[in-house]
Amino acid sequence: MLALQILIDGFAISALYALGATGFTLIFGVSGVLNLSHGAIMVAAAVAAWAAASVFQLDSYSGALVGVAVAALLSLATYFTVVQPIQRSNKIPNEEKEIFVLTATLLWGIMIQEAIAYFFTNNAKTVLPIIEGVVNIVGVRTPKNELFTAAVCCLVIGLLWVLVNRTRTGKVVLAASMNPRGVTILGFELTNVYIVVWAIYGVLAGIAGVLLGMFLGVSSYSVGPLTASAFSIVVLGGLGSVSGSLIAAFVVGYLETFTAYMISPAYRSIPALLLLVIVMYIRPQGLLGRR
């Protein structure tokens, strides 16, 4: 019975992690940017959905849409105001652009976080779930919302796969991650590719944020841990490898759920961190990474 419970809870958490980390790794794969404002964008989406439903009295579907739209806008704002100026700057030497992007997105994330705390306080907010109620799966009482979360995550990841592998835009994005210069020579504007990727990322982070808000609730304190967990999942799976992050998300999700149920919720994140350190020592490029 407990095993089944871990199986179900772990699946929902892992699917959510996977969704959050996919966009993160996509951006790294295509433009080499690690976006440390990730957690802030996810929380902003959840808080926007919460505000739309509770302050502006919208129904939960429209609320969720507002959340996703806010995340997409914030993501594009991140690209245009923070990332692009650094990439184009001629004052910063190329080999140091990485640390500048990291520091700048981190500061940007703190600004979003503080703005949320200022306008909507630090209190934890739970977005009203789209589907309520519980179902009984072989004796395990499971909230329908948890199943809904898992289903949406899988669906969105599937759609992303179709988008990247089966459409023309997706193929350009894929090509840009393999050889940016080649894509430019074929006549595609690299900036447009980046805009597409940041928009996709924003939608993914937004959906993940809103679902997280329905499933566990968020507050501006969740920003740091959310960024850290996406970062570690992505590195565990191999930077830039989408399938690697999917596997890593499930490894981390199940490891955390297992620890929380079998040992103590207080130790929840420790085994995953230790695993990460071991992987870094033995296989620094991650599970499926290429160097």
> What is the contact surface with other proteins in residues (CB under 8 A)?
34, 82, 85-86, 89, 91-92, 95, 98-100, 102-104, 106-108, 110-111, 114-115, 117-118, 224, 228, 231-232, 235, 239, 266-267, 269-270, 273-274, 276-277, 280-281, 284-285
The string of DSSP codes covering 106-125 is HHHHHHHHHHHHHHH-SS-B
Radius of gyration for the chain, computed over Cα atoms and rounded to the nearest angstrom: 19
Q: Which is nearer to other proteins, 120 or 161 (CB)?
A: 120
With H, G, I as helix, E, B as strand and everything else as coil, classify residue 135. strand
Q: Which is nearer to other proteins, 149 or 259 (CB)?
A: 259
User: Which H or E element spans position 268?
Assistant: none
Smallest gap, in angstroms, from Cβ of residue 67 to other proteins? 22
* Min separation Cβ 149 and other proteins, Å: 25
Min CB(65)–other proteins separation in Å: 27
Please report how close the Cβ of residue 103 comes to other proteins at its closest, in angstroms.
6
- Tally of CB atoms within 10 A around 144: 14
Q: How far is the CB of 19 from other proteins (least distance, A)?
A: 21
> Which residue lies nearer to other proteins by CB, 51 or 230?
230
CB atoms under 10 Å from CB of 119, counted, come to 9
| End-to-end Cα spacing for the chain | 43
Smaller CB separation from other proteins, 34 or 207: 34
- What is the closest distance, in whole angstroms, from the C-beta atom of residue 111 to other proteins in the complex? 5
Residue with tokens 């990841």: 157
- How near is the Cβ of 205 to other proteins at its closest, in Å? 19
Nearer to other proteins, 108 or 198 (CB): 108
Compare residues 59 and 98 and give the one whose CB is closer to other proteins.
Answer: 98
One-letter amino acid for residue 40 of the chain: A
* Strand-pair category, 140-143 with 134-137: antiparallel
Please give the Cα distance from 246 to 253 (Å, whole number): 11
State how far the Cα of 66 lies from the Cα of 93, in Å rounded to an integer: 39
Distance CA 83, CA 100 (A): 9
Nearer to other proteins, 178 or 273 (CB): 273
Residues facing 136 on adjacent strands: 141
Pairwise CA distance, residues 243 & 228, whole Å: 19
